[in-house]
Amino acid sequence: MLAAAIELIRAEGVAGVTVSRVTRAIGVDRSLFYSHFKTVDECLAEAAVHVVTALTTVDSERRAELHLRYVNDREAMVLSVHRSLDRWMEQRPFVEMLVRLRLDPSSFGAAMRPMIAKLRHEFAAEVTMLAGKMGAPAQDEQRARLVADAVTSQWLWALECLCEDRSEDRRAVAEVVCNNITAGYMQLLRRETTRTRAEVIAARFDATQQAQLKQRLAKLRSALGQASDAAMFGAPGSAATVADAALAGACRHFLPEVARDRSARVEFVLDAGGEVIRRQLVVRDGTCTVARDCEDGSAQMRNTMTLRTFLECTSGLRTFGEALIAGDLRTDGDMSLGPEFTSWFYQPGTPGDGPLEP
């Protein structure tokens, strides 16, 4: 009987389900319907729970196969979310019941809410497991649960967006979901090295040096707020000069004591009004250097953005994570490296950067 109701919903939507049509479909008397369900709404709710449970089970199995690639390979992550959205939207009538009635005070809504709780619980278990593999502190279980809540909310937003026809581009929706999920993972994986960084910075930069750097960054932030791209780096060759100056500044403020024995290559692909600048920051043997125009695939992580976005992030107007969420930054490769790599550099006004922290 439940199978008959499911097929009717798939064919004609919720409005196609009546007691007569369900019982006629399987050749039984109407009275038999009430031996299984008290009302049509109860039948609809059980049908939705049955289909959504099957969808979440398939998704969980697919994610288990992708766990290490899920965050480290952006394209694999977007493709996985895109395919999952396709699977869910093949069952659109049931998904609509889930997203539209999950907060409804009726018994129908009450039947939907345990599905959301189950989804959140599965995400929490997966986030905790994945974070452990990537080296997040074991005591961060509460933060992992918060990330899982964010992942669940993002997923429901995506389904709602598609059900309400706010977007026909499922890949674009998948990319937004991935941006926000990645930002959540980055927060989870951020190392808490505030004390170490404060001690290192105090030893490397006295108060005068910190104040001078803070003033230079404030000047850059002011210029970004007032000048156009053409005015700042529109002249031939000026964009590369500006990018090189910013990266050279990063090298000067590299903290080898924080990076310790780690090595990394992070590539920056910067669009300056049609001129594309490629540079890599290379950390190796306690030093940080800039490599020019490297396209050999050696970078562990690639960040693609406009030159203005890069300057906004390096000057402290916003963080790279905020640019990622806004869609102004595309990251490929090992995205779990990002928060740790950022912690290897001194920038006034960011958490843990010592006495000048505002």
What is the CATH number that goes with domain 195-342? 3.30.1050.10
At residue 273, the 3 state secondary structure works out as coil
Q: Where are the domains of the chain?
A: 38-189, 195-342
Q: What is the predicted pLDDT for the residue at 171?
A: 92
Query: CA-CA distance, 255 to 32, in Å (whole number)?
Result: 74
Query: CA-CA distance, 213 to 130, in Å (whole number)?
Result: 38
User: Residue 357: pLDDT above 50?
Assistant: no
Specify the DSSP element, H or E, that contains 264.
strand 264-272
Q: What CATH architecture applies to the domain 38-189?
A: Orthogonal Bundle (1.10)
Q: Which residues is 280 bridged to in the sheet? A: 267, 291
Are 306 and 313 a contacting pair, CB within 8 Å?
no
SS (H, E, C) 210-237: HHHHHHHHHHHHHHHHHCCHHHHHCCCC
At residue 160, the 3 state secondary structure works out as helix
Can you state the angle between helices 207-226 and 307-315, rounded to 10 degrees? Answer: 150
Token pair, residue 233, equals 């780096």
Burial of 20 from C-beta contacts in 10 A (0-12 / 13-18 / 19+): exposed
Summarize pLDDT for 307-316 with one digit per residue, the tens: 999 988 888 7
Summarize pLDDT for 73-124 with one digit per residue, the tens: 667 778 888 999 999 999 999 888 888 887 777 777 788 888 888 888 877 7
Are 320 and 329 a contacting pair, CB within 8 Å?
yes
